[in-house]
Amino acid sequence: MTRMVCAALALTIALAAAPAWAGPFEDGQTAYKTGKYDEAARLFRLAAEQGLAQAQLYLGVLYAKGQGVPQDYPEALRWYRLAAEQGDASAQLNVGFAYHSGQGVPQDYPEALRWYRLAADQGQASAQFNLGLMYAKGQGVPQDDREALRWFRLAADQGHAGAQLYLGVAYLSGQGVPQDYPEALRWFRLAADQGHAGAQFSLGLMYAKGQGVPQDYVQAHLWANLAAAQGNEDAAKLRDLLAPFMTPAQVAEAQALAREWKPGGDKP
């Protein structure tokens, strides 16, 4: 399975409550949303230098992405840390990611774990997921499938698609939990309904094999086709393997379902 580590770098700048004295921050949000990154960086800096944690976080994001400022991972980390030390969970996630990946700082799993835990304890879903990954892989801690699943479940219950996928894999394989195909199918479907290609492929495979559900080539083709459209090569192979065992009408039905599909809910 491909490495999945979440950071808040894809952060969507949305209007958020800010102290009354943080006018530059609000103006910076507006500038960012309209693609005026130079102006956003200037305004975020004004608010960040006054100690506003959200502005420090967003200025760090700009440095990490090279938007409005030269890309500079150590400088991004400096601003993240300032916000993280004020308790901002997204900033704590980003500090953890920096240490986890060695981005702007030497790789340090125990330090990554410490920052992820601070964010995860505040309910930050991506931090909970990343903490689960570290327990699953034994990075900075003894490998522990049960502890990994505990964190994955916390994130999955908040709608984190990657965590839902990992829970599905655990129930499919019986790793850390009793093997349970219907439960695997449930978690795969939750992630697949959000558009997660890996989960869509896994769901298609379960329909193809009849695991936890009656065998259904139309549904298998549908989910494999959706994942293949996102570049999942294994899903494309599954879709093409299924086609010779289906009637033209079944293939047409599956293709029509794929065209009509829209993302659904994200939580159990």
Which domains does the chain show, CATH number per domain? Answer: 24-86 (1.25.40), 159-268 (1.25.40.10)
Burial of 182 (0-12, 13-18, 19+ CB in 10 A): exposed
Q: Whole-angstrom Cα distance, residue 150 to residue 167?
A: 10
Higher pLDDT, 8 or 73: 73
Task: For residue 237, give every residue at least 6 positions away whose Cβ sits within 8 Å of its Cβ, in sequence order, or none.
Answer: none
- Residues 239-256, mean pLDDT to the nearest whole number: 97
- Three-class SS state of 177: coil
Contact 228, 239 (CB under 8 A): yes
Q: 16 falls in which pLDDT band (50, 70, 90)?
A: very low
* Ramachandran bin of 123, using left for φ above 0, alpha for ψ from -120 to 50, beta for the remaining angles: left
Contact 171, 183 (CB under 8 A): yes
Using the predicted structure, report yes or no on whether residue 20 has a pLDDT greater than 50.
Answer: no
- Residues 21-49, mean pLDDT to the nearest whole number: 91
DSSP string, 7-75: -GGG---------TT-HHHHHHHHHHHTT-HHHHHHHHHHHHHTT-HHHHHHHHHHHHHTSSS---HHH
CA angle 134, 136, 142 (to 5 degrees): 75
User: What confidence tens digit (pLDDT) does each residue in 154-169 have?
Assistant: 999 999 999 999 999 9
Q: 14 falls in which pLDDT band (50, 70, 90)?
A: very low
Percent of residues, the chain, with pLDDT higher than 70: 90
Using the predicted structure, report yes or no on whether residue 12 has a pLDDT greater than 50.
Answer: no
Q: Which amino acid is at 94?
A: N
Which among 147, 186, 184, 189 is positioned nearest to 169, based on CA atoms?
184
Using the predicted structure, report yes or no on whether residue 57 has a pLDDT greater than 60.
Answer: yes
- Residues 245-264, mean pLDDT to the nearest whole number: 96
* Token representation of residue 119: 């964010």
User: What confidence tens digit (pLDDT) does each residue in 103-143 have?
Assistant: 999 999 999 999 999 999 999 999 999 999 999 999 999 99
CA terminus-to-terminus distance, the chain? 23
User: What confidence tens digit (pLDDT) does each residue in 215-234 have?
Assistant: 999 999 999 999 999 999 99
* Ramachandran bin of 106, using left for φ above 0, alpha for ψ from -120 to 50, beta for the remaining angles: beta
pLDDT of amino acid 23: 84
Higher pLDDT, 13 or 265: 265
Q: Whole-angstrom Cα distance, residue 6 to residue 97?
A: 8
pLDDT of amino acid 241: 97
Q: 18 falls in which pLDDT band (50, 70, 90)?
A: very low
Using the predicted structure, report yes or no on whether residue 30 has a pLDDT greater than 70.
Answer: yes
Using the predicted structure, report yes or no on whether residue 11 has a pLDDT greater than 90.
Answer: no
Task: For residue 90, give every residue at least 6 positions away whose Cβ sits within 8 Å of its Cβ, in sequence order, or none.
Answer: 8, 11, 57, 83, 119, 124
